[in-house]
Amino acid sequence: MENSVATPAASAQSRGLSNIDLYRAVWRWHFYAGLLVLPFMILLAVTGALYLFRDEIDQFLHADLMRVEAQQGSAIAPERQTAAALQGYPGEVFKYVPAAAENLATEVDIKTDAGEKLAVYVNPNSGAVLGAMDYRGSVMWFIRKLHSLEKLGPIANGALEIAAGLSILLVITGTYLWWPRGQNGGVMKIRGSRRERVFWRDLHAVSGVTVGGFILFLAITGMPWSIVWGDKVNELANGNNFGYPAGVRVDVPMSRERLSERVQTSWSLEQAQIPSSVQRPANGQNITTPIGLDQAVARFDALGLAPGYSVNLPSSSEGVYTGSVYPDDLSQQRVVHLDQYSGRVLIDMNYADYGPLGRGLEWGINVHMGQEFGIWNQVVLALACVVIVIFSVSAGVMWWKRRPSGKLGVPPLPQNPRRLWGVLGLLMIGGIIFPLVGATLMVIAIVDF
């Protein structure tokens, strides 16, 4: 019997074919992920870059409503400001936002007699009504809704969750494809001219590896808002104790209403229920008169809520005054509920009360929104968004130049199909963590097969 012994040349050839197969398998999955993700990535990058400067842009575009001439120590009482707003726009006040700075107007949110919601702006120094717009009708609120596809409902939100998860896999597979294998071009250097495909390939590779870490961070920190993964993790972190993190005192009567139904709150408090006010006996008689907005605002000021807080007014006889603020400084993030009759603090929540998971995710969200490190946080993330757009556009151009006429241009199959399924098995680790992503990968695999 003759023994067949593989020569070094044959072994090298076998390893080469195996590496080519693996490369093709990774490339094929990278292509499919990119085909689905890149349109979302451009949308998220453009709207996200704009939203990083939301205060600056809104106060510039709506300066006639939001800005006033600065005057020290001359603000009139909150109830006088709300009365002035109601005189111009009759209805019911549901939220009051004191001026966050001396040169800014007060916002009085009103549900009019016709049933529409308006944000009315009042000069806090004179009580003059500056005008009104639809509640959450500013340019930056529109950009925020566009960024989250909120207007399109849960299906669109689910699509964004899939896009965020696939973008994580896109970075991982893209890093493998970029990895230097003895070549210099396309690693950190761009070759050719804009007419050549190699230029767009190198531009895509170099910009991708430059911004890959940012894509991973933004995708992961954006996931808490997602409809499946975000909701389930929120339940895990804050699913008990009336939606408050463990250890927070909630030994007061609670309503069935959630905080997120009344005010734009933090991720950690999306499930938090609002406590109820109680008409308590005083000298043998029930307290039936609410403390009023003036006293509520004075109470919040005395408690030390950071400038920029908002006050939600009681919506019923059992409702509460809710003061909430989500400033750049996470340590000052706070929500306080006051009994509307006694002014007693029912629940006082701040960042330090969140659990470890909540604090970590809130920190990531704060950085994601450009708040944690001041102007540098905004500038660095804005530059990253610009590179993400370049990365995405170059991918589209590269694909268009490479694809055969009239065809999709899917990368070639590996000679050994098991390589393709092996890569899918590795990607499904991410699919288990993010279920919608896993389901999408299986659909792609079935279609591809």
Count H helices and E strands in the chain, helices first. 13, 12
Whether 232 has a pLDDT exceeding 90, the answer reads no
Q: Which residue has the higher pLDDT, 404 or 287?
A: 404
On whether both 343 and 251 belong to a single domain, the answer is: yes
- Of 317, 351, 385, which residue is a domain's last? 351
The closest of 99, 96, 100 to 109, measured between CA atoms, is 96
Residue 336 pairs in a beta bridge with: 323, 348
Asked whether residue 241 is domain-assigned, the answer is no
Which residues have a Cβ under 8 Å from the Cβ of 53 and sit 6 or more positions away? 370, 378, 382
> Contact 93/87 with Cβ under 8 angstroms?
no
Q: pLDDT tier at 126 (50, 70, 90 boundaries)?
A: very high
Convert the pLDDT of each residue in 41-52 to its tens digit: 999 999 999 999
On whether both 162 and 36 belong to a single domain, the answer is: yes
On whether both 31 and 86 belong to a single domain, the answer is: no
Asked whether residue 143 is domain-assigned, the answer is no
* Structure-token pair, residue 297: 């605002």
Dist. CA 368–CA 122, nearest whole Å: 32
Domain count for the chain: 3
The CA–CA distances, whole Å, from 242 to 266, 344, 346, 361 equal 15, 20, 14, 20
Residues of the chain with pLDDT > 90, as a percent, come to: 55
Asked whether residue 149 is domain-assigned, the answer is no
On whether both 29 and 163 belong to a single domain, the answer is: yes
Q: What is the pLDDT of residue 269?
A: 86
On whether both 426 and 292 belong to a single domain, the answer is: no
On whether both 260 and 343 belong to a single domain, the answer is: yes
Convert the pLDDT of each residue in 253-295 to its tens digit: 888 888 888 888 888 888 888 999 987 665 555 667 899 999 9
> Contact 432/438 with Cβ under 8 angstroms?
yes
Whether 331 has a pLDDT exceeding 70, the answer reads yes
Asked whether residue 238 is domain-assigned, the answer is no
Residue 16: exposed, middle, or buried by beta-carbon count in 10 A (0-12, 13-18, 19+)? exposed
Whether 16 has a pLDDT exceeding 90, the answer reads no
On whether both 120 and 166 belong to a single domain, the answer is: no
On whether both 342 and 379 belong to a single domain, the answer is: no
- Of 285, 317, 351, which residue is a domain's last? 351
The closest of 169, 195, 176, 163 to 44, measured between CA atoms, is 163
Whether 249 has a pLDDT exceeding 80, the answer reads no
Whether 6 has a pLDDT exceeding 80, the answer reads no
On whether both 251 and 346 belong to a single domain, the answer is: yes
Q: pLDDT tier at 447 (50, 70, 90 boundaries)?
A: confident
Q: What are phi and psi of 413, to 5 degrees?
A: -70, 145
Residue 109 pairs in a beta bridge with: 95, 119
The CA–CA distances, whole Å, from 295 to 79, 229, 289, 439 equal 10, 41, 12, 53
Asked whether residue 142 is domain-assigned, the answer is no
* Structure-token pair, residue 206: 């170099």
On whether both 307 and 261 belong to a single domain, the answer is: yes
Convert the pLDDT of each residue in 380-398 to its tens digit: 999 999 999 999 999 999 9
On whether both 32 and 177 belong to a single domain, the answer is: yes
The CA-based angle 166-382-41, given to 5 degrees, is: 25
Q: What is the CATH number of the domain that holds 116?
A: 3.10.450.40
Residue where the block lists tokens 């463990």: 246
The average confidence (pLDDT) of the chain is 88
Element housing 345 (H / E): strand 345-350
On whether both 265 and 318 belong to a single domain, the answer is: yes
3-state secondary structure 226-260: CCCHHHHHHHHHHCCHHHCCCCCCCCCCEEEEEHH
> Contact 258/402 with Cβ under 8 angstroms?
no
Dist. CA 361–CA 208, nearest whole Å: 25
Domain residues for the domain of 288 are 247-351
Q: pLDDT tier at 1 (50, 70, 90 boundaries)?
A: very low
- Of 90, 105, 137, which residue is a domain's last? 137
Asked whether residue 178 is domain-assigned, the answer is yes
Asked whether residue 29 is domain-assigned, the answer is yes
Q: pLDDT tier at 134 (50, 70, 90 boundaries)?
A: very high
Whether 9 has a pLDDT exceeding 70, the answer reads no
Mean pLDDT of 178-190: 78
* Structure-token pair, residue 368: 């994601």
Of 147-151, 305-309, 322-326, 343-347, where does mean pLDDT reach its minimum?
147-151
Q: pLDDT tier at 164 (50, 70, 90 boundaries)?
A: very high
Q: pLDDT tier at 78 (50, 70, 90 boundaries)?
A: very high
The DSSP annotation for 297-336 comes to HHHHHHHTPPTT-EEEPPSSTT-EEEEEE--SSGGG-EEE
Q: pLDDT tier at 2 (50, 70, 90 boundaries)?
A: very low
Torsion sign over Cα 383, 385, 389, 390? positive
Asked whether residue 103 is domain-assigned, the answer is yes
The closest of 13, 31, 28 to 413, measured between CA atoms, is 28
User: 304's torsion region: left (phi>0), alpha (psi -120 to 50) or beta?
Assistant: left
